[in-house]
Amino acid sequence: ISARVEKDADAKTRLAAEAIKLLQPRHTVFIDAGSTNYAIARAIPRSMELTVVTNAPAIAAALADHQHVTIIVLGGIYNGELGSVSGNATVAAVEAIYADLVFLGTCAIDLTFGVSALDAVEAEVKRAMVMQSRALVVAATADKLGLAAPFRVARPEALTHLVVEGDADPGLLADFATQGTTVHHAA
C-alpha cells in the first residue's frame, strides 16, 4: 500500500480535492481501502464533522487527529498487501451501518461490467458497502478506466459519482453520464 500511495501521488491529491466536495457535515461515510481513498481521507477538512467507517487502518490513522471525525474501524482479517480487513466479520459489521456515501476503491471500472476487484473476498466487503450506502463514489486515475477485473462489485448504473482526471477519455465519460453517473473532473 505504501508503494501505491506514492504512485501518481499528484493525480490522487487532485482527485481527492474534487471528491471531498461531495461531503456534507454530519455525513456517515464508508471509506474503503486504497491509495486514492487514502488521499481522500487526508484531504478531509479538520473542521468537518463526519462519521467515517473504514476497513483500512491507514485511513483511520490519517484521520486520527481530526477532532470532529468519529472513526469506526471495521474488524476482520487483515491483508497487508491490500492494506485492508475483510471476511465475514467485516461484512457483518458493514451490514449494521447505513452511510450517506461510500468512497470505493477499485482496480477497474468499465462501462459494461461496472466497478470490479481482483480479490473475491475483498469484493464481498466492497459489495456490502455499496448496498449499505445511499451513493457510490469512485475516484479513479485514468489507468483504471475501461478495464474489468474478475469480481464485480457494482454494476455501472449503480455508480452515482465518478471523479476523474482532466485527461480521461471524454467519450467514455459521456457514456457513463448517459447511464446516470455524475462525472466530476479534478482540477
- Which domains, ranges and CATH numbers included, belong to the chain? 2-185 (3.40.50.1360)
Residue 124 · residue 91 · CB < 8 Å: yes
Measured CA to CA, the distance from residue 172 to residue 154 in angstroms comes to 18
pLDDT tens digits for range 67-126: 999 999 999 999 998 999 999 999 999 999 999 999 999 999 999 999 999 999 999 999
Q: What percent of the chain has pLDDT over 70?
A: 96
Transcribe 66-124 into DSSP letters: -TTEEEEEPPSEEETTTTEEESHHHHHHHHT--EEEEE---SEEETTTEEEES-HHHHH
Rounded to an integer, the average pLDDT of 43-63 is: 97
CA 177, 163, 160: angle at the middle one, nearest 5? 50
pLDDT tens digits for range 124-162: 999 999 999 999 999 999 889 999 999 999 999 999 999
The pLDDT value given to residue 2: 53
